[in-house]
Structure formats: C-alpha cells, structure tokens
Structure 1
C-alpha cells in the first residue's frame, strides 16, 4: 500500500505522566513520533517543509509534511520546492528541523513552548558531534525537555529482535535508509560502530531510477509520472527479490509465475468535457455581455472626451482673461506683467489661444466655421510685418521697391504655409470624422464591420496592384519590344493620358497641314496647361489610393485588437 500520512491531532496528551518518554524516529524520509511502550507511532508524515505563496493575497505560508492536493489550488508552489533538514542522513538545517518538531509536538497535543516529557530521538550511525549538540540545544532551549537520549534505530531493532529470539548475539545489520545504507556488525550482542560502513544509496535512488525507467519507456507521459506517483508504485507493487538472478530468468522465460507478478497500472485519466451547441439563452447572454462591454467602452471614451473638453475650456478662459487683463495694463508695465505670466509677447498669448480653440473644436468634433477661417486668414500683425505692400510703386524709392518685393515674397510664402497647414488640418479632421463613424459602425456590429473593412481593403489592394502592373508594363514595353501576352498600350492608358495623347495628335496634325504657326496665338499655350493639369491629376491618384489603403489597414489593426480584447474579457469575465 502507498504511504498515507497520519497527522490527526491527539487529545490524550495530558493523560500520560511526565515520566513517560516521547519517542521520535527522525528519518530522512519520514518523521514518526509517539509514546514509549506503544507498538505504533501516533504521528507519521514526510520529513519536508515547503513555503508557497497564497495566489490571492501573496502571503507566504509554511506547510510541513505531505500537503493536501486540494489546498494546492490556493497556493503557488512553482517557486517553492520541498526542503529537507537532512544531507545524507545528517541533520544540518536546524531552522527546518524546528518547523518539523513544532508540527510534531503540536499534533501530539503538547504546547509548543513547553514539552515536559523525556525525549528519545534517533540519529544516523556515527552522527557528527556538531549535529548532535545542535539537536540537543534545540530540544533543551526551545522546548524545555527535561532530558534527551540519542540512539541508532538499527541497533534498537536488532536488540528488540534479539529479545524475541529472532537474532543471535553475533550478527550483521543492514539498514537501508532514504539516501544512505548502513551496515553494522554485532558481536556478543553489542554493536561495533568502529567497524560499520555506509553506502550512499538508498530508497530515494531506487525511486529515482524507477522514475527514469518509466520516463524512457513512456516518454509521452513524463509530466504525469511524478516522483510521488513513482514512490507509491514502489511501495505498493515492488518487492525485494531474495535471488535476483533466478527472478530475472523467470521474467525472461515468461510463464505463470512471471504473469502473476506482473502488474498493469494506468495513469489517472479524465475525459475532456463534451461541448454542445450553445442554447438561445447562452447566445442571448453573450450578446448582452458584449453589449455591456461596448457600452462600457463608449462611456470610458465619452468620459475621457468630456475631461479633455473641460481642460481646454478652462485653459481658454484663462487665456482670454489674461488678454483682457493685458488690455488694461499700461504700456510701460506690459513687460513686467508678461514676465509674471511666463509669456514673451501678446502675439504668443493670441497664438496659444488660437491653438487651444482649434484643439477644442477638434475635441468637440465641430467643423471650422467661416468666422474662424476668416480670423485665421486675416493676420492682425500683417500690416505691421509688411507695411510696404499696400503702398503704390510710384510712391516708393528703388530701395523701398526692393523691400516691397521681398515683403511680397515673404507674405506669399507665409500664406502658402498657412493654406497647407489648413489643408492638413482639414484632412486630419476628415480622417478623425471617418474614424469616428467607423468606430460607431464597429460598436454596432463588430463582425459585419470587420467583413466590410476586409472587402474594402482587398478592393483598394487590387487597384494599387493594378496601377503598379500598368506602370511596370509601360516600362517594359518602351520602343518596339512589346512582350507577348502583355497589356496593349491602349489598355494601359487611363483617361487623363488618353486626353494628352489626343491633344498632342491634334496639334501635330494641325501643324502638318502647312506653315508651323503654333504659339502665335495665346490660346495655343493653353495646351500645356491642360497637359500639366492632367498630369497632376494622374500623379495624385495612386497617392490617394495608397493613403486610403493605409488608413483601412490601420483601422483593421485597431478593430482586431478590440475584437481580441473583447474575446479575452468574455473568457475571464463571463458574467
């Protein structure tokens, strides 16, 4: 039978007199404790200590002996391996030994701080003096025992069997332990410790070797063949062969005797649960959970947006109040007033105010009004920066004319930058509006939205690839070397390119009729403008497709992220 711990709390501790000794068999594998005169020990448990952490609170607890497998779902034992107080049958970790003695005395019913009974404790053969003195110090100082006696369990066993008449006065004791095996000779009924010997092979090595054999034979079950299961198999099914050679020959030959001694053992197996189709209630419950999750996400986004709007409105009010205060300050005190506010000039405050207003409109999702656009177009400091622009040329000197041209150039460049900035802002606002609309569609029906995005992505990808193929075919078919099976030039040209070809053909035909008069009229030069405009349109097409393709790709990534996030929420928070 496999080993089963006996750790029930004893209730008759006070019934024994103080002269009755407590016997402790302190083995490398098991710890046994009981009363002298009884045939069996009261408490038996594995001589190990483990300190796992609680999975919920993170608190470290101490577990002595065999742990209950039902408790392991509450504790994390991955970083805490079992520890023993022994090293080759010699006690050297007395902190662990104290935990074990506390648990043993507490299970016996004694008060951990005072044990008023003599103690008989076993030790290994030829135990070092340092280990024995530490053990005596622990028992005397910590538990206050009145007296301690040490002995070798193998010698006690031989003496007991000698009294029963099983052993003679002269004999040999073989004591296989957990990690070592001792051999002690007896002469005239007394052990001769000077002649004893030790081999560093014990029950642990037998179990470990059996575990290796099972792992080699069944490599697919290595994780299930644990050391504890192997120990149970050894204790329940294995035996010591009196004649190893004859036993091995009987198993090689087979037969009735070998068949009777063969044991078949199956690993514990739990059938996987059969998942049926979800019921209508389950589908409705999952849909309600998904709706609540979407509503929670929308509420979080709305709360964040409201907080941002409040911050911008407070900042805008502060800047407007600052401008109002600045208007009431005298000219000579403006510098000191601005130094206190942290701004350099009034223009910097107005610029910050314009940026805050722009951010506020963007946060609210409002389009730019005509008044705002007019305010941006009209620069209040333009007259101060460019004073010569509105003055007629006949009223200026040559130096002033040069300065006027320079100011015109600077103003035009500045206005161009403003227009480009305005265009970028409008494009960004349009993208934000599209993303917001897409987000609303995604929240309404994520699966349908993902399918539409994928279809649009495939359509745009095909268009971009088609343009690339046209461009590649155009490069490969220059001159008279048209590839067989390629696309004809008429099929490669789009509408803008065909229009340019028509204009060039018409101009060449008109010129071939007679005298070359192209360029004599101003209308002739409109041809170049038309061709240039068509060329611009042609160049803008692929960039627009690629920009939209990039936006769709980004939305796909975001949608997949939200989709998998909702799946994780469904798995971890099903209700």
Structure 2
C-alpha cells in the first residue's frame, strides 16, 4: 500500500531481539511508537488518515499523519477528508486504525505484516471491553503479535514522574488531553479506578473554539484559519487567567497592560503599487497618437461631406432640369408629364428643390438666407390664397369652403414664419451676447471668471430653492387631498390663487351652498385652474438652462471647476468611499481570545458541555475515596501531577491551585506540579515499564486470547507497581 509521508523509515528493525517489546502510545491526537528501554519514540505522527485519489492515474493513496502540502496539488481530496479512528478517546473505527498501525510498523522498518515482538499499547481510563477486544483481535490476527499488554497512558505518565521524584506514591493525576480530561487517584503507586473522573472537553475543543472566534472576527480571512495554523496559535499565544473576570475587565477598560498581553499575527501583505505620473515623453507620445487619430477622423468626415455635397448637387441639377422640361411642355400635356416624373404639381417640384438647396447650403456651411426664404412665400401668396380677398357674396358654396381652408392655411403659414423670424432674432441675440462675453473675457480673464463663478453660485442656490419648494408642494398635494399643506409646508402664490378661485366659484355657484362639481363645466374649470402652466413654473426651466450654460462655460475655461450635482431632496445617501487595503487589514489581533478559549477546561458549559470543570473534577474524585481513609484526602492533594498536551498552557498551575483551595478546608496542603514532559512522558513511562523483566508476566498471549475469547479482557488490569 503506497504511503505519502515526510517521516523517514527506520532501518534497524531486524537488529532488535524478538523479546524486545514495541511500545505504542495510541493517543487521540498523536501516535507514538518505539522500542522499550529507549528514552524517545522512534516515530511520531498525527493520528489521522486521509485517502485521496490521484488526479491522473486515479489510484487511491494513503496519507497518514503529517503530509507534504506541496504534493497535495496532485491529488483530489474533495471526497476524502482527514479521518480519525477515535470517538472522544475510544477507538471505534478499526479500519482506520489498521491504516495507522500499518504505517507505524512500516516506518519502524518491519518487513511484511508479521510482527514477532511483544507489544505494549496504551488506552484510555476504563476503556470499553468491546474496543479492547477488537484491538486485540486486530493485533493478533492481522499482525501476528505473540503477546499484548494494555496500559493507561495517564498511569504511565504518573509512574514515570514518580520515578523521577516529581510526585509521590499517593496523589492525583490530572490529564487534560486532546478530546477528554481525566482525573485518576493513586494510592501506594496503583491507580484507583473507583475514584476516576472524566469530562468530554480537551485540546480539540479549545482549538475549535479559537477557530470559531477568529472566523467570526475576521470573516474575510477564513482560508487562513486552517486547523494546523490555529493549533499553532493556541500553543504559542494562549494562556489561562488566574481570575477570568478580572482579566476580562482589564481588556474591557483598555488599560495599558492589555497592550502588553495582546499578540499580533501578520498575514502576507503586498502594498498597492503607487501610480507614477506619466513622463513628458509619454504625454507627447499619447498626444501624437491622439492627433493622428483626429486627423484620420477629420479626413473621413471630409470625404463623407464631399460625397453628400455631390449627391445633393446632382439631385438639385435633376430638379432644375425637370422644371426646365416642364416649362417646355404644353399645358395640355402637363398631367401626363408629371405622372411620369412621380410629382403631382409644379409647386411640389419647387418645394423639393428648395429643400435640397437648403440641405446643400447646410452641407457647405453657408449661412441661412432667412430673408430669401421669407420672400418666396410672399411672391406666390396671391396665387396660393386667391380667394381670401374676394367677398363672400361673390363666391359659391364650394368656393366658400375652399376660402376657409385657405384662411387656415395662411394663418398657419404666417405663424410658422413668425416662429422662424423669432428664432432667427433669438439666435442673433445669443450670438451678440456671446460676442460681448468673449470681449469681457479678453479684457480681464480673471475678473470674468470670478463673476462667472459668483453667478453660477447664486443661480444654483436659486434653482435648489425652487426645487425644494416644488417638492414640498407636491408632497403636500399627495398627502392632503383637500389641497392643503401639512407640517409647515407652504404653497406658492399661483397655487394659493387657484385655491381661492375654486372656493369662490363653489360659493357663488351654490349661493352659499357648496354645489360645485354638479355640472360638467365645473370640472372643466377645475382642470383649467389645477394646471401648473403658470409663470412661476416657467422660471425654473429658464434658470436651469442658464445654469447648464454657465456650467458648460466654466468647464471649458476653468479645469479645476467641478459642477454641482443635482440636489436629491428625497433621501440623502452617502457615497461609499473605497479605501486601499493597509497592513492593519491583514493583521490578526489576539486579545481576549488568548485566555477565553482555554477557559473551557474550567467552564465546559460555555461550549455546550454540561459537565464540571477541571478544578471541580478534583473535588469529585476526592469525595469518591473519602470513605477509605480520612487522611487520604491530604495525601492526594499534596501530590497533584498535571500531564497531557493541554497542561502546557501558562497559568494552569496557579488557576488549579486557586480553584482547589475554594473546595478544600482552610490550611489544607495543596501541591500541584507539572510533568517533566506532559506530551512524551506517557510513552516514556510505558517504555520504562516494558523494559523490566516482570513485564512479560503482565501480558496475555495469542493462545490465551483464542482459548478464553475477547470477553476475558473485561477483567484484565495491569499492575503498575512492579
């Protein structure tokens, strides 16, 4: 079976005698395996298994423990995540356990699956007989182990530290492990299982709690909070507060001491590049490219204009030639000639010729000849409106109808002519004003620009005021059906006058009784008066047009001018400001999280575990042994050993001592010490125990297991005081 691992394979397996036991510390977090009598385990790896599939070959590989992250890009891990063989601290997935044992024996250098050495393997306190029996079955039948011994990891750690003079024969062993926390009392060097206590909280829950807090605090850095990284942050920065609430109050007040207790984790951050202004050569190059593109566009526009002029000239020549031919045709043949050309009359051909002439002048850029255009209709007015000056009594009924049509046509034509004349005069007046403004600007550009800014400011304030008044009036009309105003809103003068006229008309029509609206003409009067087509409403349109003209003028003359945005009186909105990311945005701050997460060891109910904390577990264990010996309590509390991976938090000794003193009588002796190496001491104690000559008498063989069955292991207990 292929393995992917960074751990080197041992090469001296065959050099050891077959009577030399193999020692395994099978913890829920790490798997440690080595030879009895040695001071350090040979192989240590995380007790997890992952079986991804190769992306190219499709072959499943087994990754046990730590792996090389650079190799994971070649595997598909979507359907196979890390799996553990443990539920809390009890082995229940023996298929996964088999992968771990295969890997452990392979890294030890064993050839094949047959292991002919005795084996000592650790287990949790009061391990269920089903788990112990399945483990024995796996070791005997799969690997051919000749004999096996099961021991408790906490007991081995306590016995090893007892041999080193750290603790006494009578005492308590506190083991906050990876997934559970145990308290085991020792009397005369042997564990007393009746006084053991367990809580389902350990280092796993601390890491998970810290991961959740950081994910809530920094949701945009979720990918950074991997399990391995959060585990490192926990072991490096977390501590246990002697008084949790005082420590929390200190951080809440923001004292200077909190800055010393705050830690920072700086994530990789690259500052945004600063855009440098373009050089003079770059500006000149872009200007040359722009000029070249502009020249090309001008040439294209000139070619299009020349083509259009040629088309219009050809069309005009065709119409003039058509008029010349029409003059040569006799009067009786005119209808047939016009039918062939597609025109109805001579006037239609002349009108088309005039339109083409105007289009041609416009294309050539010649000024409009307004005077000529106004004179042409006058020349043919007598012919076109021949019945207007004839008295009605001299006309027939058909001629009278025709005369009415001619009168309406003439009035419409005169109206259009007056409108054209008015536009022409307005254009001349506009050009004159622009010329005067240009002369003022040339005389004193600075003064002219200041006056233009002042005029723009006054006019913008006026337009804003008019818009606010109009908005208030519209709002009042929508919310007051009677036409009144609400909450300080005021109608303008024209609206007040319309309301007065409506009230007067209603009173006069009904002679004191309000009957206005009973007739159709009353509603016509209401519609007429309710229109907003009054002089007050025309002002803002003219002002807005003038404001737009001044704004356009300022944009051309003043590069620093920024036009004022249109005022939105409905609901003010704040324009979001985008700020570049700084170094602080990629900085993880560890403040109260440093001591809040390990606090779950003493308050498991904070994470939903309704059990007692570590200090209360000591009191529970002592009360269970109170009936045996009255003086036993003092001997137990006088030698309390803290072991396990979670006992490495700074401050745990002081916090335990303060908590135990709360449940013990005043003046009772309390001595708490930490193991020499809380992580490795369990394996060292087991290796020291397996190296003694009496160890082989504590094991049970494969023949015993086959003869008595797995249920016989229910009463199996190891004697630690050899």
TM-score by length of 1: 0.45
Larger RCO of the pair (alpha carbons < 8 Å, separation 6+): 2
